[in-house]
Amino acid sequence: MATLHLGDIAPDFEAETTLGKLHFHEWLGDSWGVLFSHPADFTPVCTTELGMVANYYPEFVKRNTKVIALSVDGLESHLKWIKDIEEIQNVTLQYPIIADPDKTIANLYDMIHPKANETFTVRSVFIIGPDKKIKLTLTYPASTGRNFEELLRVIDSLQLTANYSVATPANWKDGQDVVVSPAIKDADIPAKFPKGFTAIKYYLRMTPQPNK
């Protein structure tokens, strides 16, 4: 399987999950999506991650974003593991975990990196737009848990920049000033951004976030 790139259509698949069988593209519908993989069930870092996503689940819903996890273990194992996750972190898992014991989906998304581990998936993340195209990829080693606040921040940026001719600067958070696209001429800015702008350099112009 070739490496997936930004702008590629996210591969479609059918899968058994903890919330029933699903057809991935159909399940996504018109929503954004986050597909994230885990090395294995009953592992410590993964347990904290899945519980954290359950805590943040309302924030994903607010952003019209569906989340779905994957581990290369079977459905029965997943269902037993969920009980531990819910007990340890006092949460309810509202999103599905894909059962992928034959590694079909893991290989489809190039989630197994043999030089890291020949058997288990690394911590892959794919953010997918309503057009089913891949908007972001991240790959963490098994030893490093993910920062889900960062994923929410990225979704805010992706959704904003999909609708306005702006980019988001380093460490940007929702509500802060954004960068005017270099393709827009100064004379055209007032029509697009009536809140005004600040020219720091001719190529770096800031404006208040347009949808706030």
Active site residues: 46
For the record, the structure tokens of 2 come out as 């070739």
CA distance 187 to 197: 11
CA distance 197 to 202: 12
Q: What is the DSSP string of the chain?
A: -PPP-TTSBPPP-EEEETTEEEEHHHHHTTSEEEEEEES-TT-HHHHHHHHHHHHHHHHHHHTTEEEEEEESS-HHHHHHHHHHHHHHHT----S-EEE-TT-HHHHHTT---TTT-SSS--EEEEEE-TTSBEEEEEEE-TTS---HHHHHHHHHHHHHHHHSSEE--TT--TTS-EEEPTTS-GGGHHHH-TT--EEEETTEEEE--TT-
CA distance 145 to 188: 44
